[in-house]
Amino acid sequence: MLYIKVAIIIATYKNKPHKTNQDSGGFPFFFIAYQPERVMDPEEELLNFLSKDELEIQVAEKIQSFHGFLTREVALRLLAKEKGLLKTEEKTYKLIEIPKGEKRISFTARVKKVWPIAQYSSGKRSRVVEVEDETAGKPLILWNDDIELTKTLRAKDEISVKGAYEKNSELHLGYSGTLDIISKAPFSDLAELKDNDRVHLRGFVGSIEGYDSFVHGNTMKKGFSFMISDGKNERRCVIFEKLARADHIQAGDEIIIEGALVKNSNVEMDEHSRILTRRRQDMLLGELTKLETKNSELVVEVGGKSAALDRENALRFLKAEASEDIALSTVVELKKRSLLNSKIAVRVENKEGRILIR
């Protein structure tokens, strides 16, 4: 396969000298030279290492591995790339710079939104991830097995994408493309939430309030509410869409909420918000109503549940350090005023009759 490389060459033609007062410097002229340059043909390169029959077998296997959705040309290119024969340059773009129809695109961006997985009658699946940088925003579409790359993505994550291509103003991850998370979006502090913020939260389910009607925009709408706690602060969370998710939430669960919207000081979850829970059977969760020492142990009551802690675990509970010559009762007296009647969320484990603070 050949293409013509055009070179414009500038030359200077020297005139013969004339008997004048001015020296003749000559004048430039142009001519065009055609230089043939070889473009790599994947099939020709592969035939340098494989027989014709071997190549056809590998092409058929490659097409079959993609369930017949590959053309022969694409299969040849993939084989050549796997064998290190196909050298392609990949250019890094800002989103606004990506040309229409461009192949082999690399970019870094922030995740704006992760859409639910779409299912098709053909059996294919896709997921749209809206991405943005300082120049523009675009949809990035992933298909079938590549959707697994998105399972831990959340809004505001910074990602690096390689091997994408542009089609109809959309970005698609190619067959050999990659998506890597450069940095995860941080969780928000419950004490610092502001209305209209999209937030990610991590904490524990403090209590279940159940189904009720809540102000939603300019109307009243049915929702399911519960309280999330980080051990110091609490916020009301309301699920408005996909209410079946509420069936899996119990008091004491460890919970992660992604992409929620803060409205009227509540944390609202719509169809795009994600809720992840993990059951925690052993928790001290709720208001600390008792804090005293008895027989060299610390006795606490949190949310109606009592526990007796030895010195090592008592200091962990109090988040304090003290040398052996300082009595536990002294540490408790110093901490009591700031802790008593506050909200507590502590993981515990009962091991051989001993309560351990995690």
All domains of the chain, ordered by start, with CATH? Answer: 2-38 (no CATH), 42-82 (no CATH), 91-183 (2.40.50.140), 190-278 (2.40.50.140), 283-357 (no CATH)
Q: pLDDT tens digits, residue range 261-289?
A: 999 889 999 887 888 887 765 667 778 88
Question: Tokens standing for 119?
Answer: 């299912």
The closest of 248, 251, 244 to 228, measured between CA atoms, is: 251
In the prediction, which pLDDT does 129 show?
A: 93
In the prediction, which pLDDT does 171 show?
A: 95
In the prediction, which pLDDT does 35 show?
A: 41
Q: What is the 3-state secondary structure (H, E, C) of the chain?
A: CEEEEEEEEEEEECCCCCCCCCCCCCEEEEEEEEEEEECCCHHHHHCCCCCHHHHHHHHHHHHHHCCCCCCHHHHHHHHHHHCCCCCCCCEECCHHHCCCCCCCEEEEEEEEEECCCEECCCCCEEEEEEEECCCCEEEEEEEHHHHHHHCCCCCCCEEEEEEEEEECCEEEEEEEEEEEEEECCCCCCHHHCCCCCEEEEEEEEEEEEEEEEEEECCEEEEEEEEEEECCCCEEEEEECCCHHHHHHCCCCCEEEEEEEEEECCEEEECCCCEEEEECCCCEEEEEEEEEEEECCEEEEEECCEEEEECHHHHHHHHCCCCCCCCCHHHHHHHHHHHHCCCEEEEEEEEECCEEEEC
In the prediction, which pLDDT does 23 show?
A: 46
In the prediction, which pLDDT does 5 show?
A: 41
In the prediction, which pLDDT does 94 show?
A: 94
Q: pLDDT tens digits, residue range 120-158?
A: 999 899 999 999 999 999 999 999 989 988 888 888 899
In the prediction, which pLDDT does 40 show?
A: 62
Distance, CA of 351 to chain centre: 37
Q: How far apart, in whole angstroms, are the C-alpha atoms of residue 122 and residue 353?
A: 57
Return the amino acid letter for 304. G
In the prediction, which pLDDT does 280 show?
A: 63
pLDDT in tens, the chain (358 residues): 444 444 443 444 444 444 444 444 444 444 444 444 344 678 888 888 889 999 999 999 988 888 888 888 888 888 887 877 765 567 899 999 999 999 889 999 999 888 888 999 998 999 999 999 999 999 999 999 899 888 888 888 999 999 899 999 999 998 878 899 999 888 999 999 999 888 899 998 988 999 999 988 888 999 999 999 887 888 999 999 989 999 889 888 889 998 899 998 899 998 878 888 877 656 677 788 899 998 888 988 887 788 888 898 888 888 888 888 899 989 889 988 888 888 777 777 777 666 667 6
